Amino acid sequence: MSKKLVEAMADLEEDAVLAEVKALKAQNVPALDIIAYLQEGMSIVGKRFEEKEYFLSELIMSAEIFNEASQLLGGGMGGAGSSKYGTFVMGTIYDDIHDIGKNIVTTVMSSNGFNVIDLGVDVPTAKYVEAIKQYKPKVIGISCLLTTAFDNIKECIQTLEKEGLRKDIKILIGGGPVDEATCKYVGADHVCKNAQETVEYSKKYMGV
Ligand code: B12
């Protein structure tokens, strides 16, 4: 556990974060472990924002530092792998523009051999419907960081059911505040806490 990296991320100490990421990388610490430390630091940023110790400017800064740090990891998270498994359609639900976690998951899924279709952020239900008809994915992912957007996921999944598109696909959800109760509430199949879990679940489901 790199307490130093978690704390530097939480305190928004950009230089210290980048130096620690470089040091961990030099020690061959796996990129996904480094991401997990950064993610933990980001949860502390979130808590401080909730407690009004941080404001929107700090949230924006945290996103910039996180993105810079993950660029240092670059190839470590895997580049575009050859797609030997099924298709995975991924997006952030409408009204939500958080995309750091979504981008990590799509990068890691792609480098693990899935054909990834990234629909971006603030994705309306119609775009999921269109993508499922066009790409026929086996698994779809919906990212959501805002509790106020949980009902949007529910609406999206209900629409997929009405359109007859739900039965052959598994729907994964993820993002900071999403948990088992959310999963049940919105009618998804599974909640994943990180990218590796998403890869493992998808491989298992697709019989890989
Ligand atoms: C950075 C950040 C921002 C940045 C986002 C930049 C960007 N490009 O994404 C900016 C500044 C834009 C932002 C804006 C806002 N934010 Co904000 N933000 C955060 C923060 C601090 C970190 C999120 C993050 O990137 N974490 C790091 C990544 C790596 O983790 P992750 O997203 O959880 O992803 C991992 C897993 O969850 C999983 N995963 C993620 N998605 C998926 C999807 C699938 C399918 C699967 C399988 C797995 C998976 O894999 C990922 C990798 O391990 C969180 C705090 C938190 N605890 O999450 C608040 C937080 C999410 N934000 C919050 C709020 C309130 C807002 C604003 C409303 C603030 C405002 N007043 O304007 C706006 C909303 C804008 C909008 N309409 O979306 C609240 C939400 C509270 C709530 N109850 O809903 C939080 C929780 C902070 C807090 N504690 O108050 N935010």
CATH T-level assignment (fold) for domain 3-77: 1.10.1240
Query: E strands along the chain, which residues?
Result: 87-92, 115-118, 139-143, 170-174, 190-191
Q: What pLDDT, on the 0 to 100 scale, is given for residue 47?
A: 96
Query: What residue spans of 51-190 are helical by DSSP H?
Result: 56-73, 100-111, 125-135, 150-162, 180-186
CATH of 87-205, one of 3.40.50.300, 3.10.400.10, 3.40.50.280, 3.40.50.1100: 3.40.50.280
User: Structure pTM?
Assistant: 0.94
Same fold, 3-77 and 87-205: no
In the chain, what are the domain boundaries? 3-77, 87-205
Measured from the CA of 197, which atom of ligand 1 is nearest? Answer: 47
User: Using a 6 Å CB cutoff, which residues line ligand 1?
Assistant: 39, 42-43, 45-47, 49-50, 56, 59-60, 62-63, 95-102, 104-105, 141-143, 145-148, 172-177, 192-195, 198
The pLDDT score that the predictor gives to residue 79 is 56
Q: What is the pLDDT of residue 76?
A: 65
| pLDDT value of residue 147 | 98
- Compute the distance from residue 96 Cα to the ligand 1 centre, in Å: 9
Question: Across the 208 residues of the chain, what is the mean pLDDT of every consecutive 10-residue run?
Answer: 93 98 95 93 95 96 94 72 82 98 93 92 98 96 98 98 94 97 98 95 86
Whose alpha carbon is nearest atom 7 of ligand 1? Answer: 98
Which tokens is 181 given? 């109760």
